[in-house]
A and B are shown apart, each in its own frame.
Chain A
Amino acid sequence: MNPALQAIVTIFIGVGGCVGYFWLSNQLLDKVLFPPRGPSAGRNINRANMIRPWLFLLPALAALGLYLAYPVVETLRLSLSERLPEGGYTWVGLENYRQMAAEPKFWEAMRNNMLWLIVVPAASTGFGLLAAQLTDRIGWGNIAKSLIFMPMAISFVGAAVIWKLVYDTRPAGQEQIGVLNAVWLTFDEGPVSFIVLKLLPALVLLICSALLVWGAWLLLRTVPALHARPGALALRGGLALAALWLGWALLSTIPPLLSARLPFGQPRTWLTIPFWNNFFLMAVLVWIQTGFAMVILSAALRGIPEETVEAAIVDGANPFQIFFRIKVPQIAGTIVVVWTTITIVVLKVFDIVFAMTNGQWQTQVLANYMYDKLFRTGDWGVGSAAAMVLMALVTPILVWNVWNARREMR
């Protein structure tokens, strides 16, 4: 049969089945099981009304249970057992987890996942906030917003294809088709290259680390007032220390950056440069998510009462103070929503890594590691253990999100 025709027939069967289920089950309930007639009519109506919701709910709950809830339980079981060569499974306890923890590739995936978790939400939210603030100040802001939002429309794998082209490399001497290499090859030892490739990045690093130190100072400044709550104190101290450490780490990359001898004139295979290639992959997701962050944050910024800004002007605040002390705190809730939404996306990330590097050259992430174990090595136990780790990482954000949604509902 022609595939198109087959599809149409399938659709008819599907639609018919759905409507049929619904109509028949309601008829059964009203006419056969509990007809609203006879001596027990009142009781029958009550019974029918108690069962009716489940007619509406059952198909959806069954599908969700079968395809999402059951697999989670099953994954847990698989992660604690080993497949036998002759079929069947045997209980092995935490053996799979032990085996996984002994693999450097797993720890590489964990490290990369953590990097993704920090960098992508931070960069997307930061750029999004900046873009939102800037596009609100110009006449053609709405057009710019549509342009920046456009990558959001693109599937991850589509984005991966696009960026693979951007990062593409041909051997030296041949002509380059990747945009990045084409740009790279225009640099030489001259002063322009020095400014663009060394001075500017160094400045950006310097600013970032200054911001981090400033943030740490802000966190620590109010500590004496918090003596009553040890939990808040510890959290603040931890955050401040992390910020200081990150600031120092950024600062310490500046001297080697300035003194580095860059291999000008040679095309680079960007995706094989260890460690940094992670950032090339993250750029893809940041590229996609910035538009989302921008649109939502822009709406939030517009929702800030203009009067509070004017009051700040009368109070004598400068534009930076207005932005960071008046505007940003007022949209803090929205920033958190954006941040957690992107975090959930990051934990799902698989397509980009799979399609661009497949975890080679130290770009492994958990989802791809799991896929590798499952289909390359055929090791279902360890694969399931990896899946469980992934779920464990999502759980805190999930719980927090659900808790928030619940609180909002009340």
Chain B
Amino acid sequence: MAGIVLDKLKKSYGGTEVLHGVNAEIADGEFVVIVGPSGCGKSTLLRMIAGLESVTEGEIRIGERVVNGLEPAQRDIAMVFQNYALYPHMSVRQNMAYGLKIRGLPKEEIDRRVEEAADILEIRDYLERKPRQLSGGQRQRVAMGRAIVRKPQVFLFDEPLSNLDAKLRVQMRLEIRRLQKRLGVTAVYVTHDQVEAMTLGDRLMVLNGGRSEQFGTPIELYERPQTTFVAGFIGSPAMNFLPATAEGGEVVLENGARLPGGTGAGRVRLGLRPEHLLADDGGPIRLQAILAEQLGASTLVHGTLEGTDSALVAALPGTRAVTEGEVLGFSVAPAQMHLFDGEGRRIG
């Protein structure tokens, strides 16, 4: 077992730099999720750890070893690919055994390990089938089986659930988490889905434009997002951002409404999570409704801040009918107000 250290990791293609120095220390046995929008460099980062991409600058250490110059097979890692990457011409058993066979393990040992993994993943019945005879979820299990028979120091997952339907995705998410805890192997998991990231990771790295915006536990990211990007990316429905001015312990909105709380002075952006807006008829935040989305357990009211064009969404518990143009009042606890400066960095 081993931790991973990324030290000022940079990657350039030709002249364009796509990763601008990423640092991270991943503890042994930790489950780290790298999350970000497409094109942010998250897959590249994972492939660099795997050894499928060369490192332009910086260092990757797995355990105590610097692995920059090592072939993927020498890094003691296993990878689960987005499209599973099962060898279509081999049976499930052969797929799982291939890496062990190449390492020259004795046949009995290979069989033992394959069957052990098959039992864990409950795919024993399909061992002799070809991948094309399996459903998406079964293929996913085989891909994971192929990773765990290797008994690697690190698991790498590259958006492994993106090809499954929503229901199966939730189920497999739980299974991946359980499996990783059971085996105690360090895991790095790449996804663009923030729900997946929040539920799976011990810690999350939010990657944007080749830079790590924040690296912390899911709750840290939710409660104290360090940038507007993280604030907007984590949490669903997404956080509201309103232009505002901070002065003397108060935040003044565009329409003149004053909210107590906040530090600093001058132009700021105020971030408010929809679920933190509390219905309060006399509250300072006035929302002019456009429409409501009834989700059953809660209702999302879409509208604008009264007197402005700034969009505002509020989540109300239960069901609530809203007519267009109706004005609703809300208040918010000072601790749940997030202030960001002009560069998008958190204030306070």
- Which of A's residues lie within 8 Å of B, judged by CB? 305, 307-308, 310-317, 321, 326, 329-330, 332
A316 to B152, CA, bound (A): 13
In-complex Cβ contact of B98 among A305, A307, A315, A332 (8 A) = A315
Is there contact, CB below 8 Å, between B86 and A313? no
Would you call B81 and A310 a contact (CB within 8 A)?
Answer: yes
> Which of B70-78, B243-251, B330-338 lies on the face that meets chain A?
B70-78
Q: Is the CB of A313 within 8 A of B73?
A: yes
B232 touches A (CB below 8 Å): no
Given A313-B52, A317-B102, A321-B102, A307:B82 Cβ within 8 A: yes
Question: What are the residues of chain A within 8 A of B82 when measuring CB–CB?
Answer: 307
Q: Give the distance to chain B from A118, nearest Cβ to Cβ, in Å.
A: 25
With contacts A316-B99, A316-B103 taken as known, whether A311 is within 8 angstroms of B89 at the C-beta atoms is no
Contact partner of B99 among A307, A308, A315, A330, CB < 8 A? A315
B: contact size bracket = 20 to 34
In the assembled complex, which residues on chain A have CB atoms less than 8 Å from the CB atom of B88? 308, 330
B18 to chain A, nearest CB (A): 18
Contact B98 A310 (CB under 8 A): no
Q: Which residues of B contact A (CB under 8 A)?
A: 50-52, 71-74, 77-79, 81-90, 98-99, 102-103, 146
Question: 14 extra interchain contacts, Cβ-Cβ under 8 A, other than A315-B98, A316-B74?
Answer: A307-B84, A308-B88, A310-B81, A313-B71, A314-B50, A314-B51, A314-B99, A315-B73, A316-B72, A316-B99, A317-B73, A321-B102, A330-B88, A330-B89
Query: Smallest CB–CB gap between A305 and chain B, Å?
Result: 6
Indicate if the CB atoms of B77 and A314 lie closer than 8 Å. yes
| Shortest beta-carbon distance from A354 to chain B in Å | 42
Closest to A321 in B: B102
Cβ-defined contact, B87 with A311, below 8 A: yes
* A330 to B98 alpha-carbon distance, docked (Å): 15
B71: A residues at CB distance < 8 A: 313, 316
Contact B72 A313 (CB under 8 A): yes
How far, in Å, is B69 (CB) from chain A's closest CB?
15
Query: Which of chain A's residues has its CB closest to B89's CB?
Result: A329
Compute how far the CA of A310 lies from the CA of B86 in the bound complex, rounded to whole angstroms. Answer: 11
Q: How far is the CB of A224 from chain B (nearest CB, A)?
A: 13
If the complex has contacts A315-B73, A316-B73, are A310 and B85 also in contact, measured as CB distance less than 8 A?
yes
Within the assembled complex, what's the spacing in Å between the Cα atoms of A305 and B85?
7
Q: Which residues of B contact A326 (CB under 8 A)?
A: 87
Of the residues B79, B86, B89, contact of A314 by C-beta under 8 Å:
B79
Chain A residues with CB under 8 Å of B83's CB are 305, 307
CA distance A310 to B51 in the complex (A): 10
Q: A315 and B102: CB pair below 8 A?
A: yes
The residue of chain A having its C-beta at the shortest distance from the C-beta of B83 within the complex is A307
Residues of chain A within 8 A of B98, CB atoms compared: 312, 315, 317
Could you tell me the distance between the alpha carbons of A332 and B52 in the complex, rounded to whole angstroms? 26
Q: How far is the CA of A191 from the CA of B241 in the complex (A)?
A: 83
Whether B85 lies near A311 (C-beta < 8 A) is yes
How near does chain B come to A30, taking the closest CB pair, in angstroms?
50
Q: How many angstroms between the C-alpha atoms of A316 and B83 in the bound complex?
A: 19
Q: Are A308 and B85 in contact (CB under 8 A)?
A: yes
Chain B residue at minimal CB-CB distance from A332? B89
Residue contact A314 to B87, C-beta cutoff 8 Å: no
Which residues of chain B are within 8 angstroms of A316 by Cβ–Cβ distance? 71-74, 99, 102-103
Q: Which of A308, A313, A316, A326 has the most CB of B within 10 A?
A: A316
